[in-house]
Structure 1
Amino acid sequence: MIIHSLLDTDLYKFSMMQVVLHQFPSAQVEYLFKCRSKGVNLRPYIDEIREEIHQLCQLKFREDELEYLGNLRFIKGDFIEFLGLFHLPEKSIVITEGEEEGEISIEVKGSWLHTILFEIPVLAIVNEVYFRNMHKDLDLTEGRHRLQEKINLVLGATDIPSFKFADYGTRRRFSKVWHAEVVKTLVEQLPKHFVGTSNVLLAKELKTTPLGTMAHEYLQACQALGPRLRDSQVFAFEKWAQEYRGDLGIALSDVYGLNAFLRDFDMFFCKLFDGARHDSGDPFDWGERLLRHYETNRVDPRMKTLVFSDGLNFNLALDIARRFDGRCKTSFGIGTNLTNDVGVPALQIVMKMVRCNGQPVAKVSDEPGKTMSVDPEYLSYLRHVFDLPKV
């Protein structure tokens, strides 16, 4: 059994889930799985994946887990009471063979409130089932060597002592055991630079900080839940502010591209939110434009945090940190390069929301390969409404 605890997921699933409970409890959604890696055959493992997901759906939160969540400053009592009754509904997830050779199809349909926790453990399950079959008894010596090189690189970057980073690699990890070893090693060897992990279970067990705010699915769902499509990004940020009253203040910037984000991220949001997160497009250009935007809105960018999380490795993260050192606060979320850099190619798999309340929803990324929609007409309409370039 790969997943033993419902805490073995990313914190932003809980922060979004609490908003769903309080603001959108009746929303109905659909998620689809996609493997972007070419030539990968997942079909031989479909029965294993089904059995692991069956076991996942038997889990409930333990009392010590509920107590841990309840002690997080932004988690509310009624949400903890709801989680005490919660389990993932097995009837909402269907795993079949896909249309293309080697593909599998994983589809989740149901209440957003009851299905939101599927994504991260399902991706972790697919990863681990694949790697334990394709690379049985892999010697992790190479992985440990690569991890130590990264640690030495950070320790040697004495010109930027303020460099901070976190583990964002739950869904991409080689295995649960390797993930735990990586985070434990970082906690021990980089106490001044490693600020925490998105994985709530590891944060609890290793006494480090759980990190995360919102993901793309939150802003995508608001395309269907808000008063009108053009105002959906503003609607999403306002609902977030109603829930957290200034806490968890890192806004995700790339659901409609940076131009649309900056149009909506006005002086009110510039002052209210602690910063923004980059997840597609050129990180240097993004940072420069965001700093100019803060200055235009009479906000001192040195008081704001820019979080970078788009396919980072440590050399790139350190270069970004050097560019913006002293001009703003920076932090870095590193996923695959931490938790699945063991000497074999990592899988590129995602599980994205594609409908909410029966309506298509989409992400229009600054990086074309990250755009995902099941409805080309809706995607074209979305581009028109937000004045986005056609591709």
Structure 2
Amino acid sequence: MNNFSIISSLLDNDFYKFTMQNAVLKLFPLVKAKYEFINRGKYSFPKNFANILKENLNKMSYLKLSNKERIFLEKYCPYLDSSYLDFLNQYQYNPKEVNIYQKGKNIKMNIEGLWSRTILWEVPLMAIISELYYKLTGIKRLSDKNIIILTKEKLKKYKKLKVKIGEFGTRRRYSYQVHKLILKILIEEGYPFFIGSSNVHLSHIFSIKPIGTKGHEWIMFHAAKYGFNIADRIAMENWLNIYKGNLGIALSDTYTSSIFFKNFNKKLSNTFKGIRHDSGDPISFIKKTIKHYKKFKINPIKKKIVFSDNLNPDKVAFISSFCKNKINPFFGIGTNFTNDVGPPSMNIVIKMIKTIPKKNWISVVKLSNVEKKSTGKKNMIFFAKKILHL
């Protein structure tokens, strides 16, 4: 591998991609999926960007799970069974699944194939696009010394607040090198408040347990297969069937939190250890969550909320003070750790847009608690809102 390989390990990805891949293989092995790159920030990409991006993807086809990496997964992620790890041993990225073309300064990209295979592309692709963009546009960052100072300052604030924090910043990191540097500081100086990283490869390097559960695409597929009204519930039940209560954080905003809470029945509320908040006003969400648990006579102080929506030390201070003695907050901090190094971080996403749950392609949508975070075709979003009476 020459120095220009941005992704150097099959595990340089978010943990929830592997946990979802395992569940997809067990329950929906023949389902196909299609993803699309969305340039939310309307960036102009330099000449030849698409070709250099393709070169990086082609190098990814040589990545294989090493014996050491498999042993790491067996030790730290016991709920990933040997049949899945055997699959991962055989897995190789297939760049033919990714279609990229550049028109002027605009990049178009989609990914298509078996869901169980294509599910791993999103996070490393975004990390490559981000790193290449800074490299090819020559946008300078802070020095390592200043990054270390800044990260330690943030860490000091989090330690003072006594809050549990994790690092979720793979997809929009400035670069692999910056990501590794920041994680090293968090591990060396974050004890006992730093609880881990979502990046499996870096977790392996530093011998820590990777963190994460599932993403929106898991529920979006269930909506395509079973309908919008019950997607949350069936997605959670299927998750329980695979993981038996492990990885028990429910995702609350694929079809807005109000629909989620209708699906989050007494059994699920008891079984899942907590809920992830990823969009909308955190305070009203905390209130709703507490009210929901109390309705089922569940003590909220025994439950968690994992906050992961664009966090920084001020937001964390505000949210954690409101949670005090009410419910347990955890914070997944992404870009504010891995790409707060001078230039603005990129506002880009790659989202599932279609799937084949039965015979034909169906467009999928996500209706976030915040309008601008919704994804999917306009007519499908309209249709979903109508069905859900939103």
| 1:212-227 map, 5 Å | 212-226=212-226
Residue 83 in structure 1 maps to residue 82 in structure 2: no
Q: Distance in 2 between matches of 1:348 and 1:70?
A: 35
- Give the whole-Å Cα distance in 2 for the aligned partners of 1:119 and 1:53: 12
CA deviation after TM superposition for structure 1 residue 337, in Å: 0.4
- How far apart are residue 247 of structure 1 and its match? 0.9
Q: Cα distance, 1:148 vs. partner?
A: 2.3
Instruction: Show the counterpart of 2:380.
Output: 378
Residue segments in structure 2 that go unaligned for 5+ positions in a row: none
2:119 and 2:109 map into 1 onto residues whose CA distance is 14
1:73 is matched with which residue: 78, 103, 107? 78
Q: Which residue of 1 aligns with 2:32?
A: 28
Correspondence for 1:92 among 94, 97, 105: 97
- SS at 2:229's partner residue? helix
Give the superposition deviation at 1:38. Answer: 3.3
How much does 1:44 deviate? 4.0
Picking from 105, 108, 112, the partner of 1:109 is 112
Output one character per residue of 1:211-242: Cα deviation in whole Å (capped at 9) or x when no partner.
Answer: 0001011101112233x442222111111011
**Does residue 146 of structure 1 match 2:145?**
no
- 1:304 corresponds in structure 2 to 303
Q: Quick check: 1-10 or 146-155, which moved more?
A: 146-155
1:142 and 1:343 in contact (8 A); partners too: no
Other structure's SS at 1:230 match: coil
Secondary structure of the corresponding residue to residue 48 of structure 1: helix
The one-letter code of the counterpart of 1:252 is L
Q: Is 2:16 aligned against 1:17?
A: no
Change (3 A) 1:336 1:302: same
In structure 1, C-alpha distance between the alignment counterparts of 2:46 and 2:64, rounded to whole Å: 28
Cα distance, 1:136 vs structure 2: 5.8
**Using the alignment, how far apart are the partners of 1:115 and 1:92 within structure 2?**
7
Tell me, in whole angstroms, the C-alpha distance in 1 between the residues paired with 2:47 and 2:34: 22
Q: Is the 8 A contact 1:143 1:343 kept in 2?
A: no
Per the alignment, residue 264 of structure 1 pairs with 263
Residues of 2 paired with 1:52 and 1:303: CA distance?
Answer: 45
Aligned residue for 2:219, secondary structure, equals helix
Structure 1 distance, partners of 2:140, 2:275, is 41
Give a deviation string over 1:69-99, Cα, whole Å, max 9, x none: 222121111001111111112211111125x
| CA distance in 2 between partners of 1:85 and 1:43 (Å) | 36
Kept in 2, the 8 Å contact 1:43–1:104? The answer is: no
1:321 and 1:371 mapped to 2: Cα distance? Answer: 26
1:39 CA drift (Å): 4.3
1:177 and 1:313 mapped to 2: Cα distance? Answer: 21
For structure 1, which segment, 101-110 or 272-281, has the greater mean C-alpha deviation from structure 2 after superposition? 101-110
Q: Which amino acid aligns with 1:168?
A: F
Q: How many Å apart are 1:251 and its aligned residue?
A: 0.4
Select 1:134's aligned residue among 137, 153, 158: 137
Correspondence list, 1:353-368, <5 A:
353-357=352-356, 358-368=361-371
Counterpart in the other structure of 1:123: 126
Aligned-residue offset at 1:149: 1.9
Say whether the 8 Å CA contact 1:43–1:103 is kept in structure 2.
no
Residues 42 and 104, structure 1, Cα contact 8 Å, conserved in 2:
no
Tell me how large the CA RMSD over aligned residues is. Answer: 1.4
CA shift for structure 1 position 108: 0.2
**Residue-by-residue CA offset, 1:250-307 (whole Å, 9 max, x unaligned):** 0000000011011111111110100000000011111111111100111110110100
Structure 1: state its 5+ residue gaps: none
Taking the aligned partners of 1:379 and 1:42, their CA distance within structure 2 comes to 33
SS in 1 for 2:42: coil
The answer on whether the counterparts of 1:26 and 1:111 sit within 8 Å (CA) in structure 2 is yes
Matched residues in 2 for 1:43 and 1:239: separation? 45
Distance apart, 1:137 and its partner CA: 6.1
CA contact (8 A) 2:122 2:350 kept: yes
CA distance in 2, matches of 1:84, 1:382: 39
In 1, the alpha carbon distance for the partners of 2:348 and 2:43 equals 13
Match of 2:63 among 59, 65, 69: 59
Taking every aligned residue pair, what percent have the same amino acid on both sides? 32
| 1: CA distance, partners of 2:46 / 2:294 | 49
Q: How many residue pairs get matched? A: 380
CA drift of 1:145 comes to: 3.0
- CA separation of 1:136 and 1:363: change in aligned 2, threshold 3 A: closer
CA contact (8 A) 1:31 1:108 kept: yes
**Contact 2:35–2:351, Cα closer than 8 Å, also in 1:** yes
Deviates more, 1:298-307 or 1:130-139: 130-139
Deviation at 1:43, TM superposition (A): 4.8
Q: TM-score when scaled to structure 2?
A: 0.94
